[in-house]
Amino acid sequence: MKNLSHSWNLTPKDAIALQRELVEQVDTQTPINFETLQLVAGVDVSVKNDVSQSAIVVLSFPDLQIIEAATATMPTTFPYIPGLLGFREGAVILEAYKKLQHQADAYIFDGQGIAHPRRFGIAAHIGLWLDAPTVGCGKTRLCGQYGEVGAEKGSYSVLMHRGEEIGAVLRTRTNVKPVYTSPGHRATLDTARELVLRCATRYRLPEPIRAAHNTAGKRDLATD
């Protein structure tokens, strides 16, 4: 955590105001450097009975073998409000991050990057905390419009919102529902899409997200 600090104990109104302030720091002009990319991490959070468990799973790149998994749990204190996921899940993600022995070169979040009404989804938000390349990969659309996506793996349609390109609707498996990709921080639209595609093997979701999802759901793996 190098670049950002703020309280998580905010009202929804104050959280939205903070998003509008912090979005100016988000960098979507610096591409992910695939020449030096050796470790990629998936980030996910599960919530059960008002307790959140986060998981960050680090994989080797490009062969996508699991290197390390870190988890953390804490009470879920912020309500579920579309567009404010970073405030609901951010603190528990950062607790898991503190436990990592390996720092990934890029992080893929189960959620949005700038494909967000205020261009500040969870991948952008936590990307500022980590000061690291981050990418959003959502299963559903939060905002924006797009055209038809080809049926073949790798096909995509540009996701537009208020006249601005905010992401891509990407087919990661032939004839399977697409995912919604966007840069979070220190990534571009093109390199965000490329990272997700290069991490997608036999499944709709990229391997780092699948690994984090599976780990976040296993409460017996909690280490705190």
- What is the pLDDT at residue 135? 98
CATH of the domain at 156: 3.30.2170.10
Helix (H) or strand (E) holding 211: helix 207-216
3-state secondary structure 106-160: EEEECCCCCCCCCCCCHHHHHHHHHCCCEEEEECCCCCCECCCCCCCCCCEEEEE
Q: What are the backbone angles phi and psi of residue 12, rounded to the nearest 5°?
A: -55, -40
Give per-residue pLDDT as tens, 190-206: 999 999 999 999 999 99
In a domain, 4, yes or no: no
d(CA 101, CA 108): 18
In a domain, 5, yes or no: no
Range of the domain at 216: 12-221
In a domain, 6, yes or no: no
What is the percent of the chain with per-residue pLDDT over 90, rounded to a whole number?
A: 94
Give per-residue pLDDT as tens, 172-195: 999 999 999 999 999 999 999 999
- What is the pLDDT at residue 5? 83
In a domain, 30, yes or no: yes
Q: What are the C-alpha distances in Å from 42 to residues 22, 23, 38, 83, 196?
A: 23, 22, 14, 20, 11
Give per-residue pLDDT as tens, 120-141: 999 999 999 999 999 999 999 9
- What is the pLDDT at residue 121? 98
Total domains, the chain:
1
Between helix 12-22 and helix 122-130 the angle, nearest 10°, is 60
In a domain, 57, yes or no: yes
- What is the pLDDT at residue 4? 77
In a domain, 40, yes or no: yes
